[in-house]
Chain A
Amino acid sequence: MKLDIHGGSCGHSCCLRVENLSVRIGADPILRDVNLHVHCGELVALIGPNGAGKSTFLKAVLGQREYEGVIAFSEPGQRSKKPRIGYVPQSPAFDPSDPVSVADLFACCMSKRPAFLGLGKAMRQKVLECLERVHGEDLIDKRVGTLSGGELQRVLLALALEPMPNILILDEPLSGVDVEGMETLMDMLDEIRKTYDLSILMTTHDFSMLPRYADQVVLIDRTVLIQGKPEAVLNSAEFSRAFHMKGGSL
């Protein structure tokens, strides 16, 4: 496993460069020979049928999974420090009975003062400022387990943006979100990307949003089948084979 921090070799400024990545669970290869560059300020969508290895790929990038190959990060003009990765996990993982409010969740992540003692005024103000980025100030006292799919994604997004990361990774942010919520969320991501010149890597099963919002789409099924502009990938033979022949849904 090798992690280094330097520029890419594709002629662009790369925030994430993955080369010859392979991941195994025991003797089973989950991913093999994956090559992928995420350029600075781009939104890259990772798509693929169920079991294609999308979540495993994200885990490897997050450093939560052993891998072979290279995962390298770089910032334009800089050559230093480990990158800050903002991560928005797949959403339906909070127990609805957990007595943890949105404010508590932020305090657990951002404050040294034990969250069970309550938030101080300054911390509460900071949480409100974070939620403001996703237009979610009214969610501060709600329990995380009771949030709707769209609300939870916005809260997790606000959390991932504090401190402002070098790259933002979202695992299926659109699942469990209604059509209106999807559009709101994607508009928000677009706005954040432009405001903060942030690179975004996300996995999704919803392809209708891709032509409007994604700069690059990468289709994987254990390895990269095709990558490029959304229209080119969505109209490719590889895409049809990966989804239609395997019974995937558009």
Chain B
Amino acid sequence: MSLWYALWDFLPLEMLHWDFMKNALLALLLMAPLFGLLSTMIVTGRMSFFSDALGHSAFTGIAIGAICGLAAPTWAAVGFSVVFALLFSYVRSRSNQAADTLIGVFSSSAVALGIFVATLGGGSFTKYNKYLIGDILSVTPGEIGMLALVLAAVLVFWTLYANRLTLTAIHPQLASSRGIPVGLSQTLFVTAIAVVVTLSISSVGLLILNSLLVLPAAAARNIARNLRQYHGFSVLFALAAGIAGLTVSYYSGCSAGAAISLILALIFAVTFCLRKVRA
């Protein structure tokens, strides 16, 4: 970290003379490729609402962990989210109901359970607000280290499974006929999303998390003609919005998460207007 801090001291960028800004920039440089990659599969697999529901379930896990007196409620949240994701996968594979209906059932149940546990015995809910809104500017070097580990794990997973996950997402029947274990692929993917979302939420908050998990890929789809462009644009948009949002936040004093989300929305609007250029 000291090398990273020293690097920016040499550059004439006022905003990067502050350690909290250097931390936030490094966190974003790690998060952007991570979420840019994941978002491609989330959007292709029509799971945008699912990642949102997972964020809420993570918050419930944190509330349960805190009430149980755990020193690190984040790990309780990871456990809760993974159980939530696996249970959802199981019910989805056994039910005729539409996926968005089932996500609604799971999401509202998880939120209700979280609020119930958090307010049990007259407890206050406000201490959990940081998980909902989050603040990338308060990210710590320890949390950045964890993000780096998560990014490395996702890159390995992606290199090994991207083809199978893509085929499962675009045509499960075709994937199955090619010998791909569709159920296992879907379960691995939702578990990976559950772990990534939960480990990231305590440092960056639900708002930025969800916008980074959906908007980069949604914008990339407007103009990409193949998988390489899709992934490339998605990561590029996430990186550009992250850096631009942090800069806007520094000079205007607004929430960095909100600025990043709005810039991503703007990129979506621009690519939407350019979508005709795609073959």
Write the residues of chain A forming the contact surface with B, with a CB cutoff of 8 angstroms. 62, 64, 85, 87, 89, 93-95, 97-101, 103-105, 107-109, 111-112, 114-118, 141-144, 146, 156, 159
**Chain B residues whose C-beta falls within 8 Å of the C-beta of A107 in the assembled complex:** 163, 227
Given contacts A108-B163, A109-B167, A116-B162, contact A146 B226 (CB under 8 A): no
Of all chain A residues, which has the CB nearest B217? Answer: A99
B80 within 8 A of A: no
Given contacts A97-B221, A104-B226, contact A116 B231 (CB under 8 A): yes
Closest CB in chain A relative to B165 CB, distance in Å = 9
Q: A117 and B167: CB pair below 8 A? A: no
**Chain A residues whose C-beta falls within 8 Å of the C-beta of B226 in the assembled complex:** 99-101, 103-104, 141, 143
Given contacts A107-B163, A114-B162, A114-B163, contact A99 B173 (CB under 8 A): no
Q: A85 and B158: CB pair below 8 A? A: no
**Chain B residues whose C-beta falls within 8 Å of the C-beta of A159 in the assembled complex:** 174
Bound-complex Cα distance A41 to B230 (A): 42
B176 within 8 A of A: yes
Q: A89 and B170: CB pair below 8 A? A: no
**Chain B residues whose C-beta falls within 8 Å of the C-beta of A111 in the assembled complex:** 163
Chain A binding surface, main DSSP class: mixed
Residue among B44, B158, B171 making CB contact with A89, cutoff 8 Å = B171
Q: B163 and A115: CB pair below 8 A? A: yes
Residue among A87, A97, A98, A101 making CB contact with B174, cutoff 8 Å = A87
**Chain B residues whose C-beta falls within 8 Å of the C-beta of A117 in the assembled complex:** 228
Residue among B162, B177, B227 making CB contact with A101, cutoff 8 Å = B227
CB contact list, B164-187 vs A, under 8 A: 164, 166-167, 170-171, 173-174, 176-178
Bound-complex Cα distance A89 to B40 (A): 24
Q: B167 and A64: CB pair below 8 A? A: no
B279 within 8 A of A: yes
Given contacts A108-B163, A116-B162, A142-B279, contact A94 B170 (CB under 8 A): yes
B219-234 vs A, CB cutoff 8 Å, 1 = contact: the mask equals 0110011111111000
B159 within 8 A of A: yes
Bound-complex Cα distance A116 to B158 (A): 10
Q: B159 and A114: CB pair below 8 A? A: yes
Bound-complex Cα distance A87 to B176 (A): 10
**Chain B residues whose C-beta falls within 8 Å of the C-beta of A109 in the assembled complex:** 163, 167, 178
Closest CB in chain B relative to A121 CB, distance in Å = 15
Given contacts A101-B225, A116-B228, A143-B279, contact A64 B176 (CB under 8 A): yes
Residue among A95, A97, A115 making CB contact with B227, cutoff 8 Å = A115
Residue among A64, A85, A95, A142 making CB contact with B173, cutoff 8 Å = A64
Q: A99 and B177: CB pair below 8 A? A: no
Q: How many residues of chain B get a CB closer than 8 Å to chain A's CBs?
A: 28
Bound-complex Cα distance A97 to B271 (A): 13
Bound-complex Cα distance A159 to B171 (A): 13
Bound-complex Cα distance A85 to B159 (A): 27
**Chain B residues whose C-beta falls within 8 Å of the C-beta of A118 in the assembled complex:** 228
27 A-B contacts, Cβ less than 8 Å apart? A62-B176, A62-B177, A87-B174, A93-B173, A97-B221, A99-B229, A99-B278, A100-B166, A101-B227, A103-B226, A105-B167, A105-B170, A107-B163, A109-B163, A109-B167, A109-B178, A114-B163, A115-B228, A116-B166, A116-B230, A116-B231, A117-B228, A118-B228, A141-B226, A141-B279, A142-B279, A159-B174
CB contact list, B115-158 vs A, under 8 A: 158
Bound-complex Cα distance A153 to B178 (A): 17
B260-279 vs A, CB cutoff 8 Å, 1 = contact: the mask equals 00000000000000000011
Q: A115 and B170: CB pair below 8 A? A: no
Given contacts A87-B174, A98-B170, A114-B162, 8 further A-B contacts (CB under 8 A): A64-B177, A94-B171, A99-B278, A105-B167, A105-B170, A108-B166, A112-B163, A116-B162
Q: A99 and B230: CB pair below 8 A? A: yes
Closest 5 pairs (CB-CB, A-B): A87-B177, A99-B224, A101-B226, A116-B231, A99-B230
Of all chain A residues, which has the CB nearest B229? Answer: A99
**Chain A residues whose C-beta falls within 8 Å of the C-beta of B278 in the assembled complex:** 99
Bound-complex Cα distance A179 to B135 (A): 60
Bound-complex Cα distance A117 to B232 (A): 9
Residue among B171, B178, B221, B231 making CB contact with A93, cutoff 8 Å = B171
